[in-house]
Structure 1
Amino acid sequence: MNEAALTLEGWYALHDFRSLNWTAWTAADDEERAVALEELHAFMQEWGPVEEAKEGSTAVYSIVGQKADFVMMFLRESLEALNQLETAFNKIAFAQYTTKSYSYVSIVELSNYAAGGNAGDGSDPMQNPHVAARLKPVLPQTKHICFYPMNKKRELADNWYMLDMEKRRELMYSHGLIGRGYAGKVKQIITGSVGFDDWEWGVTLFAEDALQFKKLVYEMRFDEVSARYGEFGPFYVGNLLTPDTFEELLKL
């Protein structure tokens, strides 16, 4: 049997995609909308202390296109914490004006392809500030987000899992060089989802210039890891929502 990659795990992640029921929202009276906005604002205000306590991070983005209207990305210490957040949102008045479009459950992950020797060596990764910052990242609140799920192929001629460790490490090193070429332009968070969701990984990209998403993903298409072994799900792209811009979005 081939050697499995060892992984380090950090915060659990939930990408919660919602669509707005504009018919219901416009049919609501001013008082009903005011209550819904007040409860939404109070819900969002709870995230700041969590981030200050280094117990998680949160970001909200509008989604461009018809797949969803907005996404809430939560990073927390446990699945229970994510479940509580999901339930808490569903209980506020604003939630009745939304429908669930898509969700993705995963965990921030570093493999021993890229963890700098920490994965599986018995050391505490949280004692390495660089590794700790990657496993428990603060979401950067850039102008734009891009999220997509992906798999590694398991086809007869192109089966990633039948490659030996050295070959996989070699390929991932080359793949990673492309990403490092976008340092300062794109921040990437990889979350593992084997056993958690329908795909194997979630990729979340953050950038001030959305065009960098296209350039990065396109360049990686020519790398063997993507061209030969990658399978990709739907892409979601959007724009940062602050409490103020979220309220502006909902104005009639």
Structure 2
Amino acid sequence: MFTEERQERILKLLREQGKVYVKELSKAFQVTEDCIRKDLKTLENGGHLKRTYGGAILSQEYPLERDVIDRRNYHLDKKKVIAKKAVGLIHSNETIFLDISTTNIQLAKLLAQSKMKIFVVTNMIDILQILAKNPLITAIGTGGMMYQTVNGFMGATAIEAIRQYSFERAFIGSCGIDMTDLSVTTLGPEDGLTKKAAIENSRHSYVMMEREKFYFNESYKFTHLDDVHGIITDENPDSTIIKTLESAGVHLY
């Protein structure tokens, strides 16, 4: 098998599984582990994957730090699937929190079209504008330090506002899960501490994320999966991750 053909097959496996392991690839292609490591390095240099300890994961198709305006239509079909699952958990007369998240924008659209009478607190301006269209919904913005890149509020003032409420449910965005310790991650402390406050003040909290984010993690760990009710995703991850989540008692929606 030529090197290029082997690397194409590695990428195919990555797209199907989300993650590959050096030992398994070595056995599958009947080449040395060093040979596989060279393949992974070549593919990483080409921007196709990100090497991890013992293997590799798919490279992100866009940098997570891009403005929320740029991310609204990214994986839109998957976000709509997640939002549809989430809206099914919400009942009339509940007080809920919607975090800064492009998936929560889709959830807000479904709520705005519903006939539920609910009270919504959010730190995202897009969500406030959407919910304002439905007179049955009472929408409250947290206020606080405005961050243009996410079109929302984060930091001490937003956190203080969040702590004044008791939420039945909180729907929290994520940049990925660190599967080594089952922590939920985001880009920085301002966002992370704001999310953490919402989780701490909610009876039920849910992490909203696409399947691919099981294979990524960012720099700031803001909560642990023990502290959330479950993960709402568009599609289940591979069996290895599912077993890990089941062992930890994490519910997948």
TM score, norm. by length of structure 2: 0.31
Q: Which has the higher contact order (CA 8 A, sep 6+)?
A: 1
Q: Which one has a larger percent strand, Structure 1 or Structure 2?
A: 1
